[in-house]
Amino acid sequence: MSERDARMALCCAVEPGNLELTRLVAQHGAESVIAALQAPDSKSRWSRRARSVDLVAVQRATKVNRLRFVVPGDDDWPDCLGDLAEVEPVQEMGGVPFGLWLKGEPNLATTCASSVAIVGSRAATAYGQSVATDLAAGLGLHRVSTVSGGAYGIDAAAHSGALATDAPTAAVMAGGLDSPYPPGNASLLQRVAGQGLLVSELPPGEHPTRARFLARNRLIAALSPVTVIVEAAWRSGARNTVSWAGALHRVVAAVPGPVHSATSVTPHRLIREAEAVLCTGPDDVLELLAPLGRAPVPRPDQRRRLDELSPDELAVYEALPARGRRDAGEVSLRAGVSLPGCLALLDRLAEQGLVAQVEGGWRLVRAEVGGRS
């Protein structure tokens, strides 16, 4: 059996997120692990399932449903999933998936490289849904993909927002990709597969279970460098995804909402306890995504800084021309400040980055706006 076939067989034989077997595969390779499980004398709890795997049938179902099965090393395989090998287990789950079924054309690795996971409550409010849609759409316009779970509420809103742009969006499912789950999102998931990707570590024919949702959440958190939680009540599956993101040292952001809203309890708690950064929209998330040293231009806070100037500083600042330079003597005249005083004030403004000394005088420094393509 090839390594690829062995991995497919393991996906069929073992529940996702199994710590022991993913570790064994990392150590000994998939072929020897599936062989050991299928050996007649094996007493593993997975052996019965391993021996009954019908690989030909699974391959046929993969083909019939127009799926691809990808494994580590494939062009499509996101290397970031490797972080799952070393992460502290969450609820005794973890591990790199043996393989993934994909539906859709985009390359998964490329899609995830610049992506944000947007997660939240199924029982979202209209507010939360509108924020999730705006967020995904705003990110999509900057060619940042949205990863989510295809569920009702926040997930669906996020995928919809992403679909409104050209960016691919990925829905990571907790069951086989042959049947959409939840059924009510069938047409949405079809559109996701058309423009983006459906992703699952479970073979066609398998249905979601509670444990599979938990295992699926680790993939959502692992695939994106940033996870944003939009709305979630205190007891919510989205908190599990956030736990994974934290364990994986991913950036966690949370969207605030009205303090009376039960679905903002988890975002507020996470922000308050410094487990998440407050996020109000796409710009905040883009800032979190920007690699060090390539951070987007700071927001136009110049007005704020002007508000904090003393009357004399402001007079000197306003005595400089909108364009070009002016010498300190003329600035002092226009500002009604003595020349030594004026020079001291200009120095102070220069320290704050508001003015700059140039040949033959001083000029205003304008806050640069935009600059992100």
Which residues of this protein are in contact with a second copy, per CB under 8 A? 90-92, 127, 130-131, 234-235, 243, 255-260, 264, 268, 271-272, 274, 277-281, 284, 303-304, 307-310
Q: Quick one: 78 or 95, whose CB is closer to a second copy?
A: 95
Q: Quick one: 32 or 280, whose CB is closer to a second copy?
A: 280
- Which residues lie across from 117 on neighbouring strands? 147, 227
Alpha-carbon distance 237 to 173, whole Å? 14
Alpha-carbon distance 95 to 11, whole Å? 13
Q: How far is the CB of 354 from a second copy (least distance, A)?
A: 15
CB within 8 Å of 295: residues ≥ 6 apart: 287
Identify the helix (H) or strand (E) that includes residue 133.
Answer: helix 126-141
Q: How far is the CB of 162 from a second copy (least distance, A)?
A: 18
9: closest CA among 171, 67, 86, 29? Answer: 29
Q: Quick one: 186 or 297, whose CB is closer to a second copy?
A: 297
Label residue 40 exposed, middle or buried (CB < 10 Å: 0-12, 13-18, 19+).
exposed
Whether the bond into 182 is cis, omega within 30 of 0: yes
Q: Quick one: 132 or 202, whose CB is closer to a second copy?
A: 132
Q: How far is the CB of 135 from a second copy (least distance, A)?
A: 9
Q: Quick one: 79 or 92, whose CB is closer to a second copy?
A: 92
Residues shown for the chain: 373
CB within 8 Å of 183: residues ≥ 6 apart: none
321: tokens are 């021309």
118: closest CA among 139, 91, 90, 89? Answer: 139
Dihedral sign of CA atoms 105, 138, 284, 90 in order: negative
CB within 8 Å of 294: residues ≥ 6 apart: none
Q: Quick one: 200 or 236, whose CB is closer to a second copy?
A: 236
Q: How far is the CB of 131 from a second copy (least distance, A)?
A: 6
Q: Quick one: 52 or 310, whose CB is closer to a second copy?
A: 310
Q: Quick one: 88 or 359, whose CB is closer to a second copy?
A: 88
Q: How far is the CB of 175 from a second copy (least distance, A)?
A: 21
Q: How far is the CB of 142 from a second copy (least distance, A)?
A: 18
Q: Judging by DSSP bridges, how do beta strands 277-278 and 355-358 pair with one another?
A: unpaired
Q: How far is the CB of 6 from a second copy (least distance, A)?
A: 28
Q: How far is the CB of 337 from a second copy (least distance, A)?
A: 14
- Which residues lie across from 229 on neighbouring strands? 119, 254
Q: Quick one: 212 or 268, whose CB is closer to a second copy?
A: 268
Q: How far is the CB of 276 from a second copy (least distance, A)?
A: 10
- Cα dihedral 141/142/145/146 (nearest 10): -70
